[in-house]
Amino acid sequence: MKRKIGRKNYAWMKSELAFFEEEGTITHTQKDEMLAQYEVSRGVSLVRILVMVGALLLGAGIFLTRQIFNLGGSFGQAFLWWGIGSLPMAYVLKDKWLSIFATVLFLLYLDAENTGIGYFAVLITALLAGLLYWINEKTVASRLLLFFVNALSIAVLSVFLFKLSAFFPAYGHLAAFLLLFVAGFVMLRLPVQEAYREVMRLEGHLLHGLMGILLTFSSVWEGTVFGSHFNLAFSVVYFLLVLYFIKTGSLTNIFILCIFVLRFYLDFSYDFLPKSIVFIIGGLIFIGFGFYFEKQRKEGGNGHA
């Protein structure tokens, strides 16, 4: 798939390659082959803006129709239908922003419905996420859109797992946290093309980081066969795992380590230290990790998400 760049960047690259051709560094054929790997992205035109605004207004009309005629159904369903109405236009226009807008609407739908969402609605949203993956692959090939669609997929998986957890009061929530924790590592190893790999790494690390921090709380393990103090054993193992990821060049895990340290610092110090001292030291911890993060970013040329 061709890489999309701006018109000015394409013109600059074309002139540079022409210079190298004149110098004899590359041949005419090599120059054409390199240029063939790129495609000039379309600029924003007035017609394009008007069509996009029209598409947004036609989805938005669903809210007014429901209000005028006092139709039944939950408020969250309006977000679902608005998003569905935006998808055809997003595909026809090959516009990533409309696709992202639809994805955000589906996320709002899941949040608005919350625990009231049924399994059929979860299935519909999962299918819509799959459709968005297809639209991204066939039209815009956007890493930003992939980030949002991944977030939607994670949200769908979370809703599904926590709905199932209601059938297993003792272990349901723990199982949901652990499965999402593992899902983060799965995202790190998914066989995706190079252009999407950093996005998958970033969200994979963020997912296992969020779940990992939540699993360090004793209340998550309370009432299970592991016992409430098992969080300490998990915390030690996870701490070492985060250090390993940092050693391999993951900048995101420096942020995770900062949150990890701050979480235990507040847990152990908030009750017996003056509150002003607690926040001052916490601020110093963040500043220290900020300097370390910047140092790693500048010195670690092979650093990644």
Tell me: pLDDT of 32 over 90.
Answer: no
Q: What is the pLDDT of residues 84-99, one digit of tens each?
A: 888 888 888 788 888 9
Q: Which secondary structure element, helix H or strand E, spans residue 162, and what is its range?
A: helix 143-164
Q: Taking residues 285-298, what's their average pLDDT?
A: 69
Q: What is the pLDDT of residue 148?
A: 95
Mean pLDDT, all residues of the chain: 81
Residue carrying the six token digits 């235990």:
264
Q: Tell me the pLDDT band of 179, cut-offs 50, 70 and 90.
A: very high
Q: How far is CA 235 from CA 14, 212, 217, 260, 263, in A?
A: 53, 8, 9, 9, 11
Q: Tell me the pLDDT band of 19, cut-offs 50, 70 and 90.
A: confident
Q: Tell me the pLDDT band of 265, cut-offs 50, 70 and 90.
A: confident
Q: What is the pLDDT of residue 49?
A: 67
d(CA 303, CA 305): 7
Region of poorest pLDDT, from 70-74, 176-180, 268-272: 70-74
In this structure, the number of other CB atoms found within 10 A of the CB of residue 114 comes to 9
Tell me: pLDDT of 225 over 60.
Answer: yes
Tell me: pLDDT of 195 over 90.
Answer: no
Taking Cα atoms as reference points, which of 120, 224, 112, 209 lies closest to residue 163? Answer: 120
Q: Tell me the pLDDT band of 274, cut-offs 50, 70 and 90.
A: low
Highest mean pLDDT among 27-36, 40-49, 57-66, 230-239: 230-239
Tell me: pLDDT of 217 over 70.
Answer: yes
Q: How far is CA 1 from CA 60, 140, 166, 197, 295, in A?
A: 34, 10, 44, 15, 35
Q: Taking residues 123-135, what's their average pLDDT?
A: 93
Position 286, amino acid: F
* Largest pairwise CA distance in the chain: 74
Q: What is the pLDDT of residue 46?
A: 61
Q: What is the pLDDT of residue 302?
A: 53
Q: Taking residues 32-49, what's their average pLDDT?
A: 71
